[in-house]
Amino acid sequence: MEQENVNTVKYPASLDTKFAKIALTLALTKRELFIKMVEYFYRTKKDPADINDELLKTSLAKSHKAYTSFIKTQEQLLLIPMKESMDKMISNQKDIVKYFNEQVVNANKSILKGQQEQMTRLQETEKLISKAMENKENLKTSFLQILNGYIRNREDLGAFKTREREELAESARKHIINL
């Protein structure tokens, strides 16, 4: 082995235990591990005293990935199906309202038409009843006139003229039939 210019670094024995464990884990010698550490800090320009910087970045990145994947999972499992269900429900409710409005409008039109027909029939019935009452009164008046004329003429005839009585009765019957 060639002799290189070797410098020594002194550090506490407790740190040597940690250093040995890291070297063993990475399958390197302590010297090789030290060389790689120096190269790492030299190339990355990182401050070895600020170990929280890298840990914080890593932690934030992991947390961000975890939150993002959680939100995506929740979106797939809950939000998208819920939105689809709500859209379908809203569509169904619109259809129900449309159908209900059509039915109510048609029912109202039908009821209104029926009421108008009933009103027309009622007016016609009232006219017929009114005419019938007038006709009845006219018939009563005419009948009373015929009856009174018959009674008067009968009394004028006296008791002995049966043939004229028969003619008078027949004439009264004809007048009543003509009513």
pLDDT of residue 33: 92
pLDDT of residue 17: 93
Please tell me the pTM assigned to this model: 0.36
pLDDT of residue 22: 92
CA angle 51, 52, 55 (to 5 degrees): 95
Q: Say if 44 falls within a structural domain.
A: yes
Q: Say if 71 falls within a structural domain.
A: no
Q: Say if 123 falls within a structural domain.
A: no
Tokens 């082995």, residue located:
1
Structural domains of the chain, count: 2
pLDDT of residue 111: 93
Angle between helices 80-157 and 162-178 (to 10 degrees): 160
Tokens 């009373």, residue located:
144
**H helix count then E strand count, the chain:** 5, 0
Tokens 């009933």, residue located:
118
Could you read off the pLDDT tens digit of each residue along the chain, which spans 179 residues? 455 778 888 889 999 999 999 999 999 999 999 999 999 888 887 777 776 666 667 777 888 888 888 888 888 888 888 889 999 999 999 999 999 889 988 999 999 999 999 999 999 999 999 888 888 888 888 888 877 777 777 777 666 667 777 777 788 778 777 76
Q: Say if 162 falls within a structural domain.
A: yes
Tell me how far apart the alpha carbons of residues 65 and 63 are, in angstroms, rounded to a whole number.
Answer: 5
- Burial class of residue 175, CB neighbours in 10 A (0-12, 13-18, 19+): middle
Q: Say if 136 falls within a structural domain.
A: yes
At CB < 8 A and 24+ separation, what contacts does 126-134 make? none
Q: Say if 88 falls within a structural domain.
A: no
Q: Say if 156 falls within a structural domain.
A: yes
pLDDT of residue 73: 87
Q: Say if 163 falls within a structural domain.
A: yes
Domain residues for the domain of 19 are 11-49
Give alpha helix (H) positions in the chain. Answer: 13-26, 30-44, 51-74, 80-157, 162-178
